[in-house]
């Protein structure tokens, strides 16, 4: 990969001494769409909250996160204020809680425009109307003056996306952006993100537990488990040849769209809590291939071009 837009190396996060992230290494290229998948509690959101300095003070964060070569971890608040909402924007699962309920939606987008692009009131209102049009909010001239509770969930998510675009970001991190929406609105929001990414050339990180969404939107996928990336590969390769037993389990739980009906397989148990991590491979208590060799932390092994996974029994898992 050419020099990445974002380079994360050895990112560790601990809360009260307990590990939430354990050595995340991740590159995001300019204009690239990368999916981060895994069950709740695997560290997908924490990775980006840590990278952008958005975790509470009690979080101990170490490692390195660079944006175009400039270090973000430990950067001055003024530097981070420029990056957040400017060069890197983030949208969240529930727009209703992310928006300020006592300010009109237009005012909230205008504030972002004033902050990140130095626009005066008139210019910010005009640009907000243009952004509302761009994200498909009908009647932008009228909708600019309504409050979040007067809009649907899908429209509020469009407002959040407009606000994210206000800073002309080079990277948009979308954290479960459609989970709180019904199926038809989900499809519309994903179409919108795809179109905006193509039009603006921004990179996209899509955090999701929905493998189907990620397969459709992203050229590369990283699978996270218990605070680590356990497998990463180009999307087509990952879905055609999943190598890590956890990835295989996630895909085995999806229904086939073609072929005979089959019973879906489930991964037994749940993601271990940070205070209860087993030694070595954290997936061992749920893995049918686990044995004594899994008591050491599995190193990453290359499986092909840009395809790596961390499992001591990778060859057997791949063969299976
Ligand atoms: Fe399973 Fe062992 Fe591989 Fe972990 S290292 S995924 S426990 S086989």
Per-residue pLDDT of the chain (320 residues; tens, 9 = 90+): 578 999 999 999 999 999 999 999 999 999 999 999 999 889 999 999 999 999 999 999 999 999 999 999 999 999 999 899 889 999 988 888 889 999 999 999 999 999 999 999 999 999 999 999 989 899 999 999 999 999 988 899 899 999 999 999 999 999 988 877 777 888 888 888 999 999 999 999 999 988 888 988 999 999 999 999 999 999 999 999 999 999 999 988 777 767 777 777 788 888 989 998 998 999 999 999 999 999 999 999 999 889 999 999 987 777 77
pTM of the model: 0.91
Q: Determine whether the shortest distance from the Cβ of 284 to ligand 1 is under 6 A.
A: yes
At residue 131, the pLDDT reads 94
| Cβ neighbours, 10 Å, residue 145 | 12
Report how far ligand 1's centroid is from the alpha carbon of 246 (Å): 8
Asked if residue 281 has its Cβ within 6 Å of ligand 1, the reply is: yes
Which of residues 175, 202, 218 is at a domain's end?
218
Cα–Cα distance, 142 to 139 (Å, whole number): 6
Task: Give the whole-angstrom CA distance, residue 99 versus residue 105.
Answer: 8
With a 6 Å cutoff on the Cβ, whether 206 touches ligand 1 is: no
Give CA–CA dist 31/202, Å, rounded: 5
Instruction: Using the 3D structure, point to which of 163, 183, 218 is the last residue of a domain.
Output: 218
Number of domains in the chain: 2
Which of 282, 284, 288, 291 has the most ligand 1 atoms within 8 A of CB, as the residue to mutate?
A: 284
Q: Mutate which of 230, 281, 282 to test ligand 1's pocket (most atoms within 8 Å of Cβ)? A: 281
Distance CA 237, CA 159 (A): 35
Triad 54, 164, 7: Cα angle to 5°: 55
Phi, psi of 229 (to 5 degrees): -85, 125
List the CATH number of the domain containing 89: 3.40.50.300
- pLDDT value for 22: 95
Together in a domain, 134 and 270: no
Residue at 235 is within a domain: no
Q: Tell me which residue of 125, 122, 154, 115 sits closest to 138, measured CA to CA.
A: 154
Claim to verify: residue 31 and residue 87 sit in the same structural domain: yes
Atom of ligand 1 nearest to the CA of 298: 5
Question: Ligand 1, from 271, 288, 292, 294: best to mutate by most atoms within 8 Å of Cβ?
Answer: 294
């Amino acid at each position: 990969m050419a020099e990445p837009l974002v380079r994360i190396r050895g990112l560790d996060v601990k809360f009260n001494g307990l590990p939430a992230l354990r050595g995340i290494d991740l590159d995001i290229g300019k204009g690239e769409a990368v999916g981060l998948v895994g069950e709740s509690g695997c560290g997908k959101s924490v990775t980006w909250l840590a990278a952008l300095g958005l975790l509470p003070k009690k979080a101990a964060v170490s490692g390195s996160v660079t944006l175009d070569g400039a270090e973000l971890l430990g950067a001055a608040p003024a530097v981070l204020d420029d990056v957040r909402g400017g060069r890197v924007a983030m949208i969240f699962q529930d727009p209703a809680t992310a928006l300020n309920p006592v300010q009109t939606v237009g005012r909230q987008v205008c504030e972002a425009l004033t902050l990140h692009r130095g626009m005066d009131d008139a210019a910010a209102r005009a640009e907000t109307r243009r952004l509302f049009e761009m994200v498909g909010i009908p009647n932008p001239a009228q909708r600019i003056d309504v409050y979040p509770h007067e809009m649907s969930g899908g429209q509020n998510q469009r407002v959040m996306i407009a606000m994210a675009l206000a800073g002309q970001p080079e990277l948009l991190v979308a954290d479960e952006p459609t989970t709180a929406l019904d199926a038809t609105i989900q499809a519309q929001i994903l179409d919108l993100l795809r179109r905006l990414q193509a039009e603006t050339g921004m990179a996209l990180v899509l955090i999701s537990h929905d493998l189907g969404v990620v397969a459709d939107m992203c050229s590369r996928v990283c699978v996270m488990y218990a605070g680590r990336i356990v497998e990463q590969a180009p999307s087509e390769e990952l879905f055609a040849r999943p190598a890590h037993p956890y990835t295989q389990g996630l895909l085995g739980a999806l229904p086939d769209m073609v072929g005979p009906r089959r019973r879906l397989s489930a991964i037994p148990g749940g993601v271990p809590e940070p205070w209860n991590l087993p030694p070595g491979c954290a997936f061992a208590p749920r893995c049918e291939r686990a044995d004594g060799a899994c008591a050491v932390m599995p190193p990453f092994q290359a499986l092909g071009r840009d395809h790596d996974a961390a499992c001591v029994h990778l060859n057997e898992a791949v063969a299976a």
